Amino acid sequence: MKIYDFNELASNTMPMEDFELNWRFDDEKYDKLPEKDLRLIKPLNPVVSKFLWDYISKSGLHSDIPFKKDYFETIEQITITADNKKDVKNWLYQCDLPLDNQVCLSWLPTTAIMIPWKLFIQYFDSFYYSVSDDLTIVDESLSCALFFHHSGEIYFGRTTNFTPI
């Protein structure tokens, strides 16, 4: 398996129109993001998406729900409800990731994107559909992760002693 770094992931993208979840961001029936924001969403090609999926799987990150026991030093949680969108955005902001950091969102083995963290916070409900989605988010440091469970629960895990696999 080829090893990628985050900079290399961003160069292995595909056009938005070829991305299977593009309707979430560019279809007025769901959400039509401004063009300036759409340009910041980098759909990863299927090969790199699979690499990311396999990397997350092999790390054992989700061998327990939400995260493998003792994988993170701290785990925080919030529940999405019909009327707490602002609270969720604030909670995501409080996760304290640098706003300009690129993060990878992984839904399925061939479905992943890279975007700036601040863009995810702004439009989190376009990227995550409760009931239908399980979504994992990792950043370049791999010292933290978010897991959006299909039940509407969001978990944020962080460690200071992460050793990549």
Taking only the tens place, the pLDDT of each residue in 15-36 is 999 999 999 999 899 999 999 9
Identity of the amino acid at 53: W
Phi-psi region of 135 (alpha: psi -120 to 50; beta: other; left: phi over 0): beta
The residues spanned by each domain of the chain are 6-158
**Tens digit of pLDDT for each residue in 75-129?**
999 999 989 999 999 999 999 899 999 999 999 999 999 999 999 999 999 999 9
CB contact at 8 A, 23 and 16: no
